[in-house]
Amino acid sequence: MTKLSVNINKIATLRNARGSSNPNVIQMAQDCERFGADGITIHPRPDERHITTQDAYELSRIVTTEFNIEGYPDARFMKLIAELKPDQVTLVPDPPEVLTSNTGWDTVKNKGFLSEIIQELRLSGARISVFCNPEISMVEGAAKIEANRIELYTGPYAQDFVQNPVQALRSFVEAADVAKKMALGVNAGHDLDLQNLKYLKKGIPYLAEVSIGHALFCDALYYGIENTIQMYKRQLQ
């Protein structure tokens, strides 16, 4: 079964726009779980543009499914992981000024750095996932640094899907197959939605988890959050 982890960054963005507690990020996480989410994902950036450090600590106390924290492994992030001990840590390569994660790690060039980071993160007991482009060499690099999983960056898949679904999916299936052979679990995330998710799942039936936030909450404006979560889960069946 492919798990759906709901990324609640957008709820924090909406809250921060008014400087209040509405919508309530903690309540939304609890409601997402109640409505069927298999996990909660956050990306606590240094500038706290959406999820704050306080949010992260509060969420760590109330999430009852899987808690996934993604981010760039600077000293602040590493301290947060050591203290919160989430179920999964997803390492992304984006520096603080980047608007959103838009590429995977070069796991070959950054082998030494990532190896050290992963060894330190293992002390927290978390499963380690590395954000990767759908390139075989990058997947092989993730195996060499002893990650537990990769998260395929699906931005290019989503962009190309409208014009040519078969071509859009090809490199992702190839990369996922290599990961499977190397005993790496396969997650996926970025720009997945109700139009392209089912096709991705069909092409990678052993997909472990998808992390979706932006599109899910856009759809929830029309369909409601409970219904939307169930709609996304049906795409993964």
Structural domains for the chain: 3-235 (3.20.20.70)
Closest CA to 7 of 36, 34, 37: 37
SS3 category, 138: helix
> Is residue 226 annotated as part of the catalytic site, yes or no?
no
Residue range 63-79: mean pLDDT, rounded: 97
pLDDT value of residue 99: 58
**pLDDT over 80 (residue 236):** yes
| pTM of the full structure | 0.96
- Write out the two tokens for 88: 């999964």
Mean pLDDT rounded to a whole number for the chain: 96
Confidence of residue 226 (pLDDT cuts 50, 70, 90): very high
**pLDDT over 80 (residue 232):** yes
- Locate tokens 């219904």: which residue? 227
Residue range 71-99: mean pLDDT, rounded: 90
**pLDDT over 90 (residue 168):** yes
- Catalytic hit among 43, 50, 66, 209: 43
- Catalytic hit among 33, 50, 66, 70: 70
Residues belonging to the chain: 237
Longest Cα–Cα distance in the chain? 48
Confidence of residue 102 (pLDDT cuts 50, 70, 90): confident
Closest CA to 171 of 149, 156, 191, 150: 156
Q: How far apart are the first and last CA of the chain?
A: 7
> Is residue 70 annotated as part of the catalytic site, yes or no?
yes
Confidence of residue 97 (pLDDT cuts 50, 70, 90): low
